[in-house]
Structure 1
Amino acid sequence: MTTESAAPVAQKVPSREELVERANSLRAQLWEAAPEVDRERRLKTANFEAIRDAGLIQLFVPKRLGGFDAGMRTFLEVTIALGRGCASSAWVTGVLNTGNWWAASYSEQAQDEVWTTNPFATTAGVLAPTSEVEVVEGGVKLNGKWGYASGSNHCDWASVCYPSVVPGRRDLNLALVPMKDLTVEDTWFIAGMRGTGSNTLVARDVFVPEHRLRSATGLFNGDHVHTGPNVSHRVSLAGLASLSLAGAQLGQAQAALDYVIEKAPKRSITTTTYSSQSESVGFQIDVAEASAMIDAAVKSTQDAADQLDDYAAKGEHPPEVVRTGLRVGMARAMRQTFHAVDLLMTAHGSSAFAEVNPLQRIWRDAGVASRHAAFNMRVSQELAGKSLLDQNPSSVSFLV
């Protein structure tokens, strides 16, 4: 958890270049700690504090409360840079920034509670409505569990989802809850992305006042895009949700490519006359192919970020066909990214699977991350296809 500090004061908003440079400056520190992060299943406190103190989790905090109102392209480039050091660190940074974006969508009273005394406060978020809700005087009472709560080890607040209180309606709602009112079950035992702390949040008879409640359905429908002084808060929630997880994967794929290229001159190819992998045409082709796949995935995701920024700047919600198309594009980019890492594992050789080799950790992380629900290719394609054929993609998924 972060510690409380004085009320936020006005500050100069750093440029994209400065924020990305801050992220790049942490790469070596994150890379060195990544094996421990994987082993201990949580970020090192010192590394999380370095990310936080660099302002890299204030990207979407409202300007009036000390935040930066950063764009989606900035968000992406920051998480890519962090991902080149440690995918779990980049993932948590992406998720907590998104959680703060959600927190900024609540009432000003709620925003003030989050950030007035602690401008570095962080918010986790879970969209699955896995809870029961009871309407009580002045708010609601929540009981339930929310799994896969990435960043649960490092957040001060959580934005959790609950179903409609009106029988028969499919509306989703959000409640902003301080972590002191929740418990965390240590459930994140998985092959990859182990440091993300994607544990389970538990609420038992937790009261949430009305000013810390809002409609999630309204956010997905774009009810927020025409209002407010912060351009970043007009962006499509569906686009933000996918983009927030992409940078970590792209960055770690770039790190894998760098590692394989760095080691190639001093590695032979067993059972051949090649004393250096670099001399092998087959190896050269594999490296070139992996590099092209990563470059294409980065470019595709950058284009998606720019498109989201353009719509937000105009105060427009992207049309449904655009939103579903962006989701397919990002799912395809993440699939390409994993295939590139897998190809690099083969090119490097079987020692890539040694526990001391960072490639096996990147391969495990990429394998898990690329299978996140936001990047489910078949679901994404179905949503896009329904939109193109004038059917209702929301009948399949709310992430539209």
Structure 2
Amino acid sequence: MTTSSQAPQTMPAPHEHTAPDTPSHAELVARAAALRDRLWEEAPRADRDRRLDERTVDAIRDAGLFRLLTPRRSGGYETDSRTLLDVVTELGRGCGSAAWVTGVLNAGNFVAALFPDEAREEVWGKNPDAGVALVLGPGAPAHRVEGGALVTAKWPYSSGSLHCDWAVLTLPVRDGDAEPVPYLALVPMRDTTVEDTWFITGLRGTGSNTIVVDGKTVPDHRLIPLASALDGTLPPRHPEETLYRCSFSGVLLTSLLGAQLGEVRAALELVLEKAPKRSINASNYTSQVQSVTFQTTVAEAATKIDTALFHAYRLTGDIDAHARRGEMPDVPTRTRVRTDSAYASRQCREAVDLLVTAHGTSAFAEFNPLQRIWRDVNVAGRHAGFGAGIPEEMYGRVLLGEDPRAVSFLL
């Protein structure tokens, strides 16, 4: 795929805060960019097969791109949310499904790092490249037993379930007759089965199937309260690991934005590349480039992409600045982060709509990558973290002095 010089440019990279043995932000983004052409070629197969090819996953793993948010003491890079965003965006310029899975597994690794050292050792002790899926939709309630919780439940929409080693699952735990309390449960994939349930229009290659746990006990050291994880009130495992004091929901939403940003940038590049050789039917224009309407449409799409990037970079800047200080962002900041992510996602969706309209009806031909990108971005933008107007409602409550957590726990 050719990259147009007219496509929007990314903003300057953030300040580097890496140890000598940790790849820099620029190096990690370059590794992702080096995979882009390969991913572009393999994306149609992932879409058709409803899963990523194992060689694709191996290439991402071999580039170290599952280690972005894994603790350094566990062999990871322990970078930041801006690096996560930029790496996943580069992958998204090649394949949205590969980018989405990479983002989710890195977010899962971030959450796994919130667990005690005993659990961390189980996850990464023998494999620093281990990936952890993350599902925030709750399963059926578990029952407290001696030393843990007995679990029989299902979790649909488990992105990366075909390629992860562990999963963090949201689990209501009932102790006796008391009301269930939501926990995060860290479960090895060997204790699960995966039901093939992902028959969705877009992001088909993510293999976001259903994880099933049937009669397994999750030990206490692999259970943490969901509310404490979201609010940053878990006891700090290692004070120097300031990354894990930052916004849980912010990292999750960042991990999901990159695929959309990458794909919509690829769509703009493709439309601009093809325009000189495409006429406009039922007009006197022998090239789309000659049309003022085409010019203004691609300009509007490019501006929406830039706007999405501005908001994405503002939210990662907020997250990372607090993390470097070892502080959890306050409720208004976390609410604005969620709204920024939703607004950026909507700009991507609106931009890709403009681009397929500008390109013409052939954008929806099965051979045309634009129709796959259009499907992917439209499905991604309806993720619960971005959709249904909930982020905007939460931000409005903050602006009016009300508690946004009355609307949603994801903050």
TM-score bracket, shorter-length normalisation? over 0.9
Give the alignment partner of residue 207 of structure 1, picking from 196, 206, 217.
217
Give the alignment partner of residue 101 of structure 2, picking from 78, 92, 107.
92
Which residue type is aligned with residue 366 of structure 1?
V
Indicate yes or no: 2:119 matched with 1:113.
no
- The structural deviation recorded for 1:225 is 8.5
- The structural deviation recorded for 1:107 is 0.8
The aligned residue for residue 6 of structure 1 is none
Number of aligned positions between the proteins: 391
The aligned residue for residue 91 of structure 2 is 82
Does the CA-based 8 Å contact 1:41-1:194 persist in structure 2?
yes
Give the alignment partner of residue 310 of structure 2, picking from 286, 289, 299.
299
Superposition pairs for residues 305-316 of structure 1, below 5 Å? 305-316=316-327
The aligned residue for residue 327 of structure 1 is 338
SS of residue in 1 equivalent to 2:174: coil
Indicate yes or no: 2:184 matched with 1:174.
yes
Indicate yes or no: 2:87 matched with 1:71.
no
In 2, the alpha carbon distance for the partners of 1:196 and 1:222 equals 29
Does the CA-based 8 Å contact 2:151-2:218 persist in structure 1?
yes
Does the CA-based 8 Å contact 2:116-2:237 persist in structure 1?
no
- The structural deviation recorded for 1:221 is 1.1
In 2, the alpha carbon distance for the partners of 1:190 and 1:318 equals 35
Give the alignment partner of residue 53 of structure 2, picking from 40, 44, 69.
44
The aligned residue for residue 341 of structure 1 is 352
Does the CA-based 8 Å contact 1:122-1:157 persist in structure 2?
yes
Measured on the aligned residues, the alpha-carbon RMSD in Å equals 1.5
Which residue type is aligned with residue 98 of structure 1?
A
In 1, the alpha carbon distance for the partners of 2:331 and 2:384 equals 19
In 2, the alpha carbon distance for the partners of 1:231 and 1:250 equals 27
Does the CA-based 8 Å contact 1:133-1:163 persist in structure 2?
yes
Superposition pairs for residues 1-400 of structure 1, below 5 Å? 12-166=21-175, 171-224=181-234, 228=238, 229-376=240-387, 378-400=389-411
**Segment drifting more, 219-228 vs 380-389:** 219-228
Does the CA-based 8 Å contact 2:194-2:209 persist in structure 1?
yes
Change (3 A) 1:317 1:170: farther
Q: TM-score, normalised by structure 2?
A: 0.92
Does the CA-based 8 Å contact 1:225-1:317 persist in structure 2?
no
SS of residue in 2 equivalent to 1:129: coil
**Segment drifting more, 228-237 vs 319-328:** 228-237
In 1, the alpha carbon distance for the partners of 2:235 and 2:398 equals 21
Does the CA-based 8 Å contact 1:149-1:198 persist in structure 2?
yes
In 2, the alpha carbon distance for the partners of 1:299 and 1:126 equals 28
Q: TM-score, normalised by structure 1?
A: 0.95
**Segment drifting more, 216-225 vs 328-337:** 216-225
Which residue type is aligned with residue 233 of structure 2?
D
State the percentage of identical aligned residues.
Answer: 50
SS of residue in 1 equivalent to 2:345: helix
Provide, for residues 20-68 of structure 1, a one-character-per-residue CA deviation record: whole Å limited to 9, x for no partner.
0000000000000000000000111111111011010101111111101
Change (3 A) 1:364 1:375: same
Does the CA-based 8 Å contact 1:69-1:231 persist in structure 2?
no
Does the CA-based 8 Å contact 2:141-2:151 persist in structure 1?
yes
- The structural deviation recorded for 1:168 is 5.8
Change (3 A) 1:170 1:203: closer
The aligned residue for residue 4 of structure 1 is none
Which residue type is aligned with residue 185 of structure 1?
E
SS of residue in 2 equivalent to 1:375: coil
- The structural deviation recorded for 1:349 is 0.4
Provide, for residues 97-118 of structure 1, a one-character-per-residue CA deviation record: whole Å limited to 9, x for no partner.
0111111111101100111111
Which residue type is aligned with residue 243 of structure 2?
S
**Segment drifting more, 182-191 vs 130-139:** 130-139
